[in-house]
């Protein structure tokens, strides 16, 4: 959840014209990670568990890419702590 809070704080400083573009995509990606893990928590099947973890991993990869794009476009500075959190989720 810390990653969600951090990303929302960073995205609040993105250009207003990105509100419905990259800002929205980043917020959806970061919220999707814990949401898919939580959705699986109430299920019992191993196959479903793996499926939701793969969805969360996909959202993590998507977020990482979107943040790299944001850095390249000058919307944010590269934040090592954020990328460490993302790496931790992926392992």
From CA 91, how far away is CA 72, in angstroms rounded? 25
Given this model, what pLDDT does residue 46 score?
Answer: 83
pLDDT in tens, 39-72: 877 777 788 888 889 999 999 999 999 999 999 9
pTM value is: 0.91
Can you give the length of the chain in residues? Answer: 91
Structural domains present in the chain = 1-5+21-90 (1.20.1440.60)
pLDDT in tens, 33-47: 999 988 877 777 788
């Amino acid at each position: 959840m810390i990653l969600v809070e951090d990303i929302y704080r960073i995205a609040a400083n993105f250009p207003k014209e990105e509100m419905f573009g990259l800002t929205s995509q980043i917020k959806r990606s970061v919220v999707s990670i814990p949401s898919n893990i939580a959705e699986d928590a109430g299920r019992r099947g191993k196959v479903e568990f793996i499926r939701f973890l793969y969805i969360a991993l996909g959202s993590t990869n998507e977020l990482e890419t979107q943040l790299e794009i944001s850095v390249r476009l000058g919307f944010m500075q590269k934040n090592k702590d954020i990328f460490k959190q993302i790496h931790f989720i992926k392992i």
